[in-house]
Amino acid sequence: MSPRRVRSISAHKRPERLPVQLNIGDRVQVGDRDTEWPEFVFVTSDQGEGWVPARYLSTDARHATVVTPYDTTELSTAVGEELDVIVDDNLSGWLWCRSSPGAEGWVPQNTVTDL
């Protein structure tokens, strides 16, 4: 089965901070909940910091344990760029996509349309 294809309808720029790969059992410090993307909380770990869906964490006050592996890598896109959708996370509003050159990362669903 071929992957779902989408086209970027608005550019997305990945953040300047380095991506973080979190694994099951990793301990993180939980910060604020995102106001634009309420499914996400800002976390800090030994590996770095980034936004993670809150449902991927088992939380105890301001600390949490990762219960689902998560990679915070975002993919920069240009208008008109075509992407393959690898993971569609409807609950968070983001898609894990692969570009034509093979780069992968999260892209907001509201910046793409189906082909």
pLDDT, residue 34, reads 95
Domain range enclosing 34: 21-71
Q: Could you tell me the CATH number of the domain that includes residue 60?
A: 2.30.30.40
Instruction: Render pLDDT for 70-113 as a digit per residue (tens, 0 to 9).
Output: 999 999 999 999 999 999 999 999 999 999 999 999 999 999 99
Q: List all residues 6 or more positions away from 26 whose beta carbon is below 8 Å from its beta carbon.
A: 45, 46, 47, 65, 66
Would residue 90 count as lying in a domain? yes
Q: Given a cut of 90, is residue 60 above it in pLDDT?
A: no
pLDDT, residue 63, reads 80
**Total domain count, the chain:** 2
Instruction: Render pLDDT for 37-59 as a digit per residue (tens, 0 to 9).
Output: 999 999 999 989 999 999 999 98
Would residue 115 count as lying in a domain? no
